[in-house]
Structure 1
Amino acid sequence: MFGEKILNYWDDIVRDLGRMVAVPSVAVPSEGEHPFGDQCARALDTAVELAESYGLKAKNVDYYAAHAEIGEGEGNAVVMAHLDVVPAGEGWATDPFKMELTEDGRAIGRGVADNKGAAIVALHCLRAIKDAGVSGKRKLRVIFGSAEEIGMKDMAHYFSKEQHPDMGFTPDAGYGICHCEKGGLNFNVKAPNNSPVVKSFTAGTVANAVPSKAECRIVCTAAEFDKLSEAAKSCEIEIELTRTEDGATLQAKGKAAHAASPQLGKNAASYLVELLTEVFGSERMGAFFGFIHERIALTSDGSLLGVDISDEPSGPLTFNLGIVNVTPESCSLTVDIRYPATKDGKWISETIEKAVREAGLEYVLLSDAVPLYLPKESPLVTLLSGAYKEVTGEDCTIFSMGGGTYARQMFGKGVAFGPGFADDIPAHEHDVNEQINLEKFKLHAQICLEAMYRMYTAD
């Protein structure tokens, strides 16, 4: 089994992962030489430096992405991973940007699971194949992205300059093989702030995570403050109230989750809006908050907007109120939708836009990433299934998911494959205390090398 050769590089993998975690590479749109910020640029520089130190060819493509490569030929097999991360958030038990190795065999740090760990493993898989002197049938690249978490515009630029893949996978999901990814639709709702109650409201930092915290400043009487305090006692999440000269400040503490599974979290923004509406009424809350109450509330399936649809390959639509920003003058919110692979994003957008405009608000479609769907019988799925069985001795399951990965950037030639296992510890991606089980990750590393070896040498 070729895959077990990666174990010879394990100490280097752990060391290099710690180095990469130390780069706080939260992607932010930027102008100038570094399109996604200085820290994402630093992460790409680190990947190129590591690759070249191991004797691999490497290239930085305008600080949008980079790749490391072995082999020659017209064909191009790829493994795509991303080095950008979501913000750390509050409540970590350790420093999120200093990887902690625990006595029970875990690594904790922002990005260890999503997706720096898999990126570093793939880099060392290239190194292992090179060191073994394997003769390949095509080029084999590991592509390092820097804006996966904020819309994947890194890949549009990268592939405008570089060769498209003939086959590939992204280790940014879970085992077995994700042959089907839901579509991803993001939109804004904007309005003037006409609420006599709410003067400011903030929740969330990225659209693709359930906001765990929401804060607002309101104007209210002493009697209304007492009523609000009493109502907060029966709320499902913690609400902290502080009396001010003309009203109050409120802090809501929910539970973060990935936007692909918003039902696993508790949306602090939604709960806080519901509490305020219960006390002050929808009309006094104003048109913007009235829309949230009437058309979103605590749902995570789009049902109040009439878009709660589903299909057999990929399951139901998910709906996440990810960001809310309100000032005394203006209001805005951002929603992340993952829709079934066989359904139409345009219909979903038009349906929601109609409801938004009927409420007297402004609708802005931000993005509509088309779904990914590869038949289970495709040669790539067969190849990866074989690699998985070679290492684990078990058949590889084929599944679909709501998460959007780089697989949909492979022009119909790739899938998501690994690195997580169903029986593993929770990785807490997009949450505090992100972590991996190092023994399980060793198993992933062997599968990854076996798969890359087979893509490199397959006829």
Structure 2
Amino acid sequence: MNLKEQIEEYLQKNKFEIVSRTCDLVKIPSINVEDHSGKPYGIECAKAIDFCDQLCKEKHLVTKNYDYRCLEVMCRENQTGKRLIIATHADVVPTVDDNIYDPFAGKVYGDYIVGRGVVDDKGPLIASLYALAFFKEYGIPLKNDIRLVFGSNEECGMDDLLYYLERAGQPDWGLAVDDDFPTVNGEKGLVHFSISAPKAEHVESVNSYGSKQRLVHDYCESTINGENMVIGRTEKVTNPVLHRFTGEERLFKNDQDEKYIREILADIDGHCLGINHSDEMSGKTSVKVFKAESDAQNITLTFDIRTPVTLNIDDVVEKLIAYGKKTGLEVKIVKVSKGYYQKPENEIVSMLTELYNKEFNANEKPYVMGACTYARLFDNGCGFGGGNPHEVKPFPKGHGAAHGADEAHNIYVLFDAIKMLILGIKAIDDKWS
């Protein structure tokens, strides 16, 4: 049999097991929490790592647990050659209120596995595991150092993979399996910053609440002139903080502070901050408020900025600081994460894109996205799968996608992802050899 015939035989032989193991992983509610379990991201994230470890050992793969932050997986010990890391994660964002199906039941409905995290990123994790296990089962030697890494904190800062890379070193190339095929050749830069100003005397408090994994809080509660108001708890509001601060009511003590902050809230492209920019490959700068906090004197708003790949993120930080000095507002930089960009002509990006297009008779192009994945932590890398970019899921609006209600992964798209990862691993291994 040739390679493709072996892949088809492998998928046919293991299809029920692949679906079953994906469902089993979904049943583990691996939401990152702070607790006293001794595990860095909580007991459930540790259970997910243990589940993956056991499944890998059943497949005769070699594993190494990096203190329950990451699990490393290889075909054999003491691998040599150039190193490829394929990174996925087992942690998930918290559930939402409008699920139709039990988010941690891990059940199949029609052609879909439904449950929290199956799209992001448990389905792709299982796909990468079975892709590497294919080479072990069929005795196909890999000449280079091919490794999987399963993380536990991708949704809350990615310090899990940073911890791993500090100990294992940077690979020659990294793949993040966390989006749609064919290839993600770039991600926008990210800056979180906060602005604080004295609150008006009639404002007692304004605070928003939500999980640390989401970049828009679920509801915003305020007490003004003794009257309590909650936005977003009973009614669905896209951004409760923005809704609260763009009403007619004055919230800040100083008229000039109120003016400046309202300008920022209304300026989604960052013009007033001096950071508006656009490029052909990644689009415009975006600015979004997502959190409100207050104390006895001040209100603090925290913003999320996504920057085009051609905009220097250090310049963005400098301009934000300069804006604070110019306006008198207290500006603090909370988080900075540099994006990345690989030219579409890059030899691995182009090879993987052509591989996908040939397999599916498509004409897809590499693309840049605003979301953040492990790919940005590699000195050299990109995203590769595992979703279908044109899939239309048979669920109500707002259901079926990553981070939303009723995440759902098509079983046949999952099988396609396994096939593409096998072909991708083999192509990179052959190229390096």
Under a length normalisation based on structure 2, what TM-score does the superposition of the two structures give?
Answer: 0.87
- Once the two structures are overlaid, the 10-residue window that deviates more, 133-142 or 25-34, is 25-34
3-state SS, counterpart of residue 143 of structure 2: coil
Shift of 1:57: 0.3
Alpha-carbon deviations, 1:29-86, whole Å to 9, x = none? 6788422233222222221121112211011112221111114213221211011112
Supply the AA of the counterpart residue of 1:16.
R
3-state SS, counterpart of residue 401 of structure 2: coil
User: Is 2:265 the counterpart of 1:296?
Assistant: yes
Specify the alignment match of 2:50 in structure 1.
45
Name the residue aligned to 1:205: 211
2:279 aligned with 1:273, yes or no? no
- The change in CA–CA distance for 1:286 and 1:29 in structure 2 (over 3 A counts) is farther
Unaligned runs of 5+ in 2: 394-399
Q: Sequence identity, in percent? A: 25
Q: By how many angstroms is 1:362 displaced?
A: 3.0
Q: Structure 1 residues 254, 163: closer, same or farther in 2, change over 3 A?
A: farther
Q: Does 1:371 align with 2:336?
A: no
CA distance in 1, matches of 2:16, 2:386: 19
Query: 1:144-171: per-residue Cα shift (whole Å, max 9, x none)?
Result: 1111112211111101111421223111
Structure 2 vs 1, CA of residues 191 and 86 (structure 1 numbering), >3 Å: closer, same or farther?
farther
Note the alpha carbon deviations across 1:132-152, whole angstroms, 9 max, x for none.
Answer: 100111122111111111221
Contact 1:207/1:336 (<8 A) preserved: no
RMSD of equivalent CA atoms: 2.8
Given the alignment, which residue of 19, 23, 30 partners 1:18? 23
Alpha-carbon contact 1:74-1:138 (below 8 Å) kept: yes
SS in 1 for 2:120: coil
Number of residue pairs the alignment of both structures matches: 419
For residues 102 and 418 of structure 1, do their structure 2 counterparts lie closer, same or farther at Cα, with a shift above 3 Å needed?
same
Q: Which range moves more in the overlay, 3-12 or 374-383?
A: 3-12
SS in 2 for 1:94: coil
CA separation of 1:198 and 1:452: change in aligned 2, threshold 3 A: farther
Contact conserved, 1:205 with 1:322, CA < 8 A, in 2?
Answer: no
Trace 1:116-131 onto structure 2 (pairs within 5 A): 116-131=122-137
Cross-structure match for 1:157: 163
Q: Which residue of 1 aligns with 2:428?
A: 455
Gaps of 5+ in 1: 221-245, 257-264
1:334 counterpart SS class: strand
Equivalence for 1:248: 228
Once residues 280 and 378 of structure 2 are traced to their aligned partners in structure 1, the CA distance between those partners, rounded to angstroms, is: 23
The correspondence of residues 48-447 of structure 1 with structure 2, limited to 5 A, is 48-71=53-76, 72-103=79-110, 105-190=111-196, 193-206=199-212, 209-211=215-217, 213-220=218-225, 246-252=226-232, 266-275=238-247, 278=248, 280-283=249-252, 292-297=261-266, 299-327=267-295, 331-412=299-380, 414-425=381-392, 427-447=400-420
Q: Are the aligned partners of 2:197 and 2:329 in contact in 1 as well (CA < 8 Å)?
A: yes
1:171-224 CA distance string (max 9 Å, x none): 11212211122112222334565552242421442375334x32313234xxxx
**Residue 70 to residue 315, structure 1, CA distance change in 2 (3 Å):** same
- Per the TM alignment, residue 355 of structure 1 is displaced from its structure 2 partner at its CA by 3.0
Cα gap change, 1:329 to 1:207, in 2 (>3 Å): farther
Q: Structure 1: which amino acid aligns with 2:333? A: L
Question: What is the distance in 2 between the residues matched to 1:34 and 1:184?
Answer: 28
Provide, for residues 100-158 of structure 1, a one-character-per-residue CA deviation record: whole Å limited to 9, x for no partner: 3213x222211111111100111111111110100111122111111111221111110
Return the offset for 1:249: 2.1
State whether residues 199 and 251 of structure 2, in contact with CA within 8 Å, keep that contact through their aligned partners in structure 1.
no
The separation in 1 between residues aligned to 2:29 and 2:344, in whole angstroms, is 38
Rounded to whole Å, the distance in 1 between the matches of 2:56 and 2:140 is 18
- For the structure 1 residues 186 and 106, does the alpha-carbon distance in structure 2 shift closer, same or farther, using more than 3 Å as the test? same
Q: Alpha-carbon deviation of 1:455?
A: 2.7
Change (3 A) 1:435 1:360: farther
Distance 1:377 1:218 in 2: 55
Q: Between 439-448 and 335-344, report the one with greater CA deviation.
A: 439-448
For 1:29 and 1:90, locate their aligned partners in 2 and report how far apart those are by CA, in whole Å.
22
| Residues 271, 3 of structure 1: alpha-carbon distance in 2 compared, 3 angstrom cutoff | farther
SS of residue in 2 equivalent to 1:135: coil
Structure 1 residues 55 and 290, CA, compared in 2 at 3 Å: closer, same or farther?
A: farther
Q: Mark the CA change 1:454 to 1:314 in structure 2 (over 3 Å): closer, same or farther.
A: same
Q: What is the TM-score with the length of structure 1 in the denominator? A: 0.83
Query: After the TM superposition, which of the residue ranges 364-373 and 28-37 deviates more from structure 2?
Result: 28-37
User: Using a 3 Å threshold, how does the CA distance of structure 1 residues 329 and 36 change in structure 2: closer, same or farther?
Assistant: farther
Deviations 1:217-275 (A, max 9, x none): 3234xxxxxxxxxxxxxxxxxxxxxxxxx42322236999xxxxxxxx93221012212
Deviation at 1:286, TM superposition (A): 8.4
- Distance across 2 between alignment mates of 1:115 and 1:167: 20
Deviation at 1:91, TM superposition (A): 1.7
Instruction: Kindly provide the CA deviation profile for residues 268-316 of structure 1, in whole angstroms up to 9, marking residues without a partner as x.
Output: 21012212xx1x235569888765433114x533234332211122211
